[in-house]
Chain A
Amino acid sequence: MTALHIKNGRVIDPASGKDEVADVFVSEGKIVQELKGKAEKTIDAKGLVVSPGFIDLSARLREPGQEYKATLESEMDAAVAGGVTSLACPPDTDPPLDEPGLVDMLRRRAKALSRARVYPVGALTLKLEGQRLTEMAELAEAGCVAFSQANVPITDTQVLWRALQYAATFGFPVWLRAEDVWLAKGGVAHDGEVATRLGLPAIPSFAETIALGTLIELVRATGARVHVCKLSTAAAVELVRRAKAEKLPLTCDVDIHHVHLCDLDLGYFDSHCRLEPPLRSQRDRDALARALAEGVIDCLCSDHTPLDEDGKHMPFAEAEPGATGLELLLPLTLKWGEAASLPLSKVLARITSAPAKILGVASGRIAPGAPGDLVLFDPRAPLRVSAETLKSQGKNTPFAGHELQGRVRTTIVAGNVVYEA
C-alpha cells in the first residue's frame, strides 16, 4: 500500500461532474484529500485524463471450464490494459456459477492475481436451466453481487416470477436479458432486409419487447430490482423509458457493439458480427446511442466474450456468438461520446459512476474515501485494433483493423499500479 501522488492530470470525476487539472492522492488503498507524509510514488499525468477506473458489468473470464478460449490471467491482463478496474462476470462458465464453492474459488483465483476486482454474478437457476432456483443467499455470502441467466433465457414464466419474488425477498438484484425463447429460437440475425437478403434465420425485434414487457410486469408485481442486460432495439428503449418514468426499480445497459454497429455491418457474412443479441437496424443503433446519452440506458458494458479462432472460422450461423471487448471499452465509449457531442465527464459516467451504482460499490468516483481505483489515459492517442495489440486471448472483434482513439497509460487498483504502457 503505497502513498501515491498523481499530479498535473486532468481529473474527471463523473459522479460530481468535476473536470479540472488537479492532484489526486491515494493512501492505504483509498483516495485521500492529502497525504500525511511524503508520496512514495509520484506519477506525472500531464496531458492525460485521470478518471475513476472503469467498471464493466459484463466480462467473461472463461474460468472455470473454458480455458482454451481464455484464462483468468489473460483476461485480467486485458482488463487492466483496458483501464477496467472492476468487472462483473456472468455465470455462463462451465460448470455455471451456481454453487458457492465455484464462486469462492473464482474470487480467490482472481484476488491472487491482484489486478482488477472481480464481482461474480451468480446463476439465478441451477445449471442455468431455468427450472430450479439456486441457493441465492449462500451464493451472495460467497460473493455474488447479483443473479443472472447470462444469455440463457428462462422459458417458464412461472419460474421467472418465483425467482424474482425470491430475489426480492433478500433484496438481491437480478440481471436479465430480454429475449423470448420461442421467438428467438434458431435465429442469428435481426429480422429485416439484411437477414432476408443473406438468407439468415432471423430474430424479430418483438422477441425483445415481448420479453421485456413480461419482465416489467413482473418487476411491478414483485418489486425485484432488475437490471436488463444488452438492450438491442429502439422499441425496448421506449418500454424502459416508461418503466423508469413510473419509478420501477429497473436499470439497463447496452454493449459497446450495439451503439456503433448494425445489421448492415454483417457485409458478406462477417462472423465477427455474430453477436447476442443480434446487431439490429441502423434506426435501432441510433436510438440506443441516443438513449445512452439521455440516461434512459444507464451504462455501457463490453460484453467481453473471448473466443478461439475456430469459433469464428465457421459459416455465420454456426459461428460462436460474441466479441472480445475489455480493451475496446474506452476507445468505443469515447467514440460514442464524440458522436453524441457530450462532455467527457458525462461520457465517462457510463463506464464509471453509473455501473458502480448498479453494482452497489463505492468505486467509480474520485472523492476522499473512495477506493483508489484509477485510470490515466490519453483520449487522443490512436489505437489500431489488431490481434497483436490485444492482450485478451480472444482476438475476435468486428473492429479489427479499425483506427480508434484513446489509450490507457496507467491503471491503478487500490493504490497499486497494475498496468503501465
Chain B
Amino acid sequence: MERNPQLNTRGGLQHLLSIEGLPREILLQILDTAESFAGVTEREVKKVPILRGKSVFNLFFESSTRTRTTFEIAAKRLSADVINLNIAVSSASKGESLLDTVANLSAMQADIFVVRHSASGAPFLIARHVKPHEHVINAGDGRHAHPTQGLLDLFTIRHYKKDFSGLTVAIVGDILHSRVARSLIHGLTTLGAPEVRVVAPQTLLPNGVEALGVKVFHSMREGLRDADVVVMLRLQNERMRGALLPSAQEFNKHYGLTAEKLAVAKKDAIVMHPGPMNRGVEIDSTVADGPHSVILPQVTFGIAVRMAVMSIVAGN
C-alpha cells in the first residue's frame, strides 16, 4: 500500500485530506497554531504576512457558503491571494475532467487548492497529481471527510473542556452521510477521548461504525446521559424522500435536541452543530440559542483553524 499521501517524506503535513491516519502530534500542532491565530482575528489589523505572494484556489465542485467563506477569510488574513471557483456551474458542466481542471489551475501558479467535491476521495486523486510545491486541503469530500470542520470541532471542545482525557462526546443524527461525523470521530479517538457515542436510528448508521471506535445508541435518553459534549448533525431534507426516515416531525420527536432531552447530559455540557441548522428538525431554537450552545464560537474558531492548516502546509 502507498505511503500516507498527506505526509511528506519528513513526516510533515503536505496535504490535509483526512484526520484519519494523522499522528496526534500533527493534530496538536494544528490546534496550538490555531490558538496563536485566534488572537490575530481579534486585532484591529487582522492580517499576518505568512502567505504573502501565495495563491489559494477555492475549488468548490459542490456548493457551500460557510466553509468557502471561512477559507477565504482565513487565506486573506494570511495575506494570500484568493481565487474562488464555483466549478459546479463552470468547467464540470462543460465536461472537463477533474484532473484537467486542476492541471489548468496549476498552470496559473497555484500554491494551495482548497477542494470540496461530492465524491468521497476526490481530494486524494487531486493530491496524487499536483506538483510537489502544491498543497491540497480537503474542504469536504462526499461522505468521507471534512477535516477542517473536525479540527475546528476539536478546537472548540478543547477551548471549553480544556482536555479530552475524561470526555464523553455524543454525536447525534445522520452519521451515515456525514463527513463531519467521520472526521470528528477520528480526531477524538486520536486525541484520547475515552467515550465517543453515536446516536441515530439504524437507517442513518453505516455498517460496522463500531470499528471506528464509537459506541452505538438508538435512544437520546441513553446516548446523551452524562455527556460533556453533544454534537448535532445536519439532517438533509432529501433523507425524507427515500426510505431512511418517515418524516422530519418524527425524527424531531425522537432525535431532535430539545432542552428536555439535553437535561440528561452533564450540567455544563456544550452543544455543537456544524451548520447550517434546520431549526425544529435536529435542533430546537431554545437549545441552539441557549446557554449550552457554542455554535457561533465554532464558526469564529473555524477561521483560526483554517489559517493554521494553510500556514502549516505552506511551510512544509
The chain A residues found within 8 Å of chain B, CB to CB, are 191-193, 195-202, 204, 265, 267-269, 271, 310, 313-318
Interface residues of B in 1-19 (CB under 8 A from A): 1-2, 4-5
- Determine which of A202, A268, A317 lies in contact with B142 in the assembled complex, contact meaning CB atoms within 8 Å: A317
Chain B residues near A318: list those with CB within 8 A: 119
> Which of B1, B125, B143 is within 8 Å of A315, CB to CB?
B125
Sample of 15 more A-B contacts, CB < 8 Å, known A199-B144, A204-B207, A313-B97: A191-B207, A193-B207, A195-B207, A198-B120, A199-B120, A199-B145, A202-B207, A267-B1, A267-B2, A268-B124, A269-B120, A269-B121, A310-B97, A314-B97, A315-B142
CA distance A245 to B61 in the complex (A): 53
Which B114-133 residues have a C-beta within 8 angstroms of A? 117, 119-122, 124-125
Knowing A199-B144, A317-B142 touch, does A269 contact B207 (C-beta < 8 A)?
A: no
A199 and B142 within 8 A (CB): yes
Q: Does B179 contact A (CB under 8 A)?
A: yes
**Stretch touching chain A among B28-36, B51-59, B187-195, B208-216:** B208-216
Which residue of B has the minimal Cβ distance to A317? B119
27 contacts between A and B (CB under 8 A): A193-B207, A193-B208, A193-B211, A193-B212, A195-B206, A195-B207, A196-B206, A196-B207, A196-B212, A197-B20, A199-B120, A199-B141, A199-B142, A199-B143, A199-B182, A265-B1, A268-B4, A314-B97, A314-B98, A314-B125, A315-B98, A315-B119, A315-B120, A315-B125, A315-B141, A316-B119, A317-B119
Q: Could you say which of A201, A269, A310 contacts B124, with CB atoms under 8 Å apart?
A: A269
Known pairs A198-B121, A200-B143, A318-B119; A268 contacts B5 (CB<8 A): yes
B99 contacts partner chain A, Cβ-Cβ < 8 Å: yes
Using Cβ atoms and an 8 Å threshold, which residues of chain A touch B4? 268
- Verify B207–A268 contact, CB threshold 8 A: no
What chain B residues lie within 8 Å of A199 (beta carbons)? Answer: 120, 141-145, 179, 182
Q: Are B120 and A192 within 8 A (Cβ)?
A: no
| CB-defined contacts of A191 to chain B, threshold 8 Å | 207-208
Q: Are A200 and B120 in contact (CB under 8 A)?
A: yes
CB distance from B77 to the nearest CB of A (A): 30
Name the residue on A nearest B205 (C-beta): A196
**For B121, what are the chain A residues with a Cβ–Cβ distance below 8 Å?**
198, 200, 268-269, 315-317
Q: Across chains A and B, which 8 residue pairs bring their CB atoms closest together, nearest first?
A: A269-B121, A199-B144, A199-B143, A315-B119, A315-B122, A196-B206, A193-B208, A193-B211
Closest to A310 in B: B97
When distances are taken between beta carbons in the complex, the residues of chain B under 8 Å from A193 are 207-208, 211-212
Residues in chain A near residue B141, CB distance under 8 A: 199, 315
Minimal Cβ-Cβ distance residue in B for A312: B125
B interface size (C-beta, 8 A): 28
Could you tell me the distance between the alpha carbons of A315 and B2 in the complex, rounded to whole angstroms? 17
Bound CA–CA A265/B20 (angstroms): 17
Contact in complex: A202, B124 (CB < 8 Å): no
CB within 8 Å of A: which B125-159 residues: 125, 141-145
Give the residues in chain B near A195, CB-CB below 8 Å.
Answer: 206-207
A267: chain B residues at CB < 8 Å are 1-2
CB B88 to nearest CB in A, in angstroms, measures 15
Interface residues, chain B, with chain A CB atoms under 8 Å away: 1-2, 4-5, 20, 97-99, 117, 119-122, 124-125, 141-145, 179, 182, 206-209, 211-212
B186 and chain A: residue at smallest CB distance = A197
Q: Which residue of A lies closest to B1 (CB)?
A: A267
Nearest-Cβ distance from residue B164 to partner chain A, whole angstroms: 21
Nearest-Cβ distance from residue B29 to partner chain A, whole angstroms: 22
B209 contacts which chain A residues (CB < 8 A)? 196
> A198 to nearest B CB, angstroms?
6
Q: Could you say which residues of chain A place their CB within 8 Å of the CB of B122?
A: 315
Cβ contact within 8 Å between A197 and B182: yes
Report yes or no: A313 in contact with B120, Cβ–Cβ below 8 A.
Answer: no
Give complex CA distance A178, B144 in Å: 28
Q: How far is the CA of A185 from the CA of B242 in the complex (A)?
A: 13
A315 touches B212 (CB 8 A): no
Instruction: Give Cα A317–Cα B119 distance, bound, in whole angstroms.
Output: 7
Q: Are B207 and A192 in contact (CB under 8 A)?
A: yes
* Least Cβ–Cβ distance between B203 and chain A, in angstroms: 13
CB distance from B299 to the nearest CB of A (A): 24
Q: In the bound complex, how far is the Cα of B253 from the Cα of A388, in angstroms?
A: 61
Please give the distance in Å from B188's CB to the nearest CB on chain A. Answer: 15
A313 to B141, CA, bound (A): 16
Measured in the bound complex, the distance between the Cα atoms of B114 and A375 in whole Å is 53
The residue from B99, B119, B211 contacting A196, defined by CB atoms under 8 A apart: B211
Q: How far is the CB of B83 from chain A (nearest CB, A)?
A: 22
Of all chain B residues, which has the CB nearest A318? B119
CB distance from A213 to the nearest CB of B (A): 20
Which of B1, B120, B179, B182 lies in contact with A317, CB distance below 8 A?
B120
Give every chain B residue within 8 A of A204 (Cβ-Cβ): 207
Complex Cα–Cα for A317 and B141 (A): 12
* Alpha-carbon distance between A313 and B145 when the two chains are bound, in angstroms: 20
List residues of chain A with CB within 8 A of the CB of B117.
315
Which residues in A have their C-beta under 8 angstroms from that of B20? Answer: 197
Known: A199-B182, A204-B207. A313 touches B99 (CB 8 A): yes
B125 x A202 contact (CB < 8 A): no
State how many angstroms separate the Cβ of A35 from the closest Cβ of chain B: 53
Docked pose: A137 CA to B124 CA in angstroms: 50
Closest residue of chain A to B142 (Cβ to Cβ) is: A199
Least CB distance from B2 to A in Å reads 6
Would A196 and B208 count as touching, CB distance under 8 A? yes
The smallest beta-carbon distance between B115 and chain A, in angstroms, is 11
A201 to B119, CA, bound (A): 10
| CA distance in complex: A193, B213 (Å) | 11
Cβ contact of B125, chosen from A200, A265, A310, A313, cutoff 8 A: A313
Could you say which of B125, B179, B182, B212 contacts A269, with CB atoms under 8 Å apart?
A: B125
Task: Return chain A residues, CB-CB under 8 Å to B97.
Answer: 310, 313-314
Complex: how many Å from CA A199 to CA B143?
5
A-side contacts of B99, CB under 8 Å: 313
Chain B residue contacts of A313, Cβ below 8 A: 97-99, 125
Question: Complex formed: what's the CA distance from A131 to B99 in Å?
Answer: 38
